[in-house]
Structure 1
């Protein structure tokens, strides 16, 4: 499959909140059936058929508001590493990464977005069963619960700059 066919299209609800990402075929079907309108295009790409050219959609908005149950971003190792930019939140290294409970579970710390960080084995061992303060460690950034828009913006920075204006105000939650 060609690289341009792999470009993803951001789907916004009628209120401009992000609801997901689809492939270009799905985006074209939604726009041709008047279920969505195109808000932004990849300027350097065109979809050509036998008798017509279409601008390659980058962002589409649904024509009718769809009530989509909020599921949040799944708390898992991969998403925590993404949130923490694949680096230890104590020393900054990207080697030998694991997860750390900021407030240890033995001291009542929960397994949650706001209590888990990426840590290297060395810092995790130094910290042990203590809080960062007790271990003499300082967090580079406070842990937070990311939104879908946060991860979409991270993707957009590398693969789809056209999405950024539509995600700018919705990245922290």
Structure 2
């Protein structure tokens, strides 16, 4: 069981275990905003709702630029596992400007690619091949990318994750 943690300003921060969430609530560092319809948790001096979403009582300052790291899994997820050239199912990633020509490992230079297109393209650019990209590669945005663990969101979290998007 997982719990969404909101900053004091209702900004999604993280997803934590149920155990960590209940400790924050018991120590009065957070309050339960949404609870799970299940039996309450009995503490030594009080009864607590099972938290689905908690709100921190004090504001936590976070870095202004929360950059999403570039990963193979992230590129495939961003592009919906569809090839950026032909639109078929993708299992690899491709550098639009090949690394051998100075292409970087960046969100703007990587695209999901099927094995066939990746092998045919090789060490060339899409322009040299006469190919067009079906998507415009860019860094992903939204709470589903910046809040670790939010990709498998609980339905109770949706209103809070939508605010951050």
Same fold (TM over 0.5): yes
Which one of the candidate residues 109, 112, 120 is aligned to 2:106? Answer: 112
Residue in structure 1 matched with residue 29 of structure 2 by the alignment: 35
Which one of the candidate residues 90, 93, 114 is aligned to 2:88? Answer: 93
Displacement of 1:25: 1.0
TM-score by structure 1 length? Answer: 0.76
Q: Aligned partners of 1:91 and 1:21: how far apart in 2?
A: 36
Displacement of 1:21: 1.0
Task: Specify which structure has the higher proportion of strand.
Answer: 1
Q: Deviations over 1:121-160 (max 9, x none)?
A: 111123333333442433332222124712355321xxx0
Residue in structure 1 matched with residue 10 of structure 2 by the alignment: 16
Asked if structure 1 preserves the Cα contact closer than 8 Å seen for 2:95 and 2:110, the reply is yes
**Cα separation, partners in 2 of 1:76 and 1:33, compared to 1, 3 Å:** same
Matched, 1:73 2:91: no
Displacement of 1:27: 0.7
Q: Which stretches in structure 1 are left out of the alignment for 5+ residues?
A: 1-6
Q: Secondary structure at the match of 1:114?
A: coil
Asked if structure 1 preserves the Cα contact closer than 8 Å seen for 2:32 and 2:49, the reply is no
Which one of the candidate residues 142, 145, 156 is aligned to 1:162? Answer: 156
Which one of the candidate residues 19, 24, 28 is aligned to 1:25? Answer: 19
Q: Which stretches in structure 2 are left out of the alignment for 5+ residues?
A: none
| Two-structure CA RMSD over aligned residues (Å) | 2.6
Displacement of 1:106: 4.0
Asked if structure 2 preserves the Cα contact closer than 8 Å seen for 1:12 and 1:62, the reply is yes
TM-score by structure 2 length? Answer: 0.79
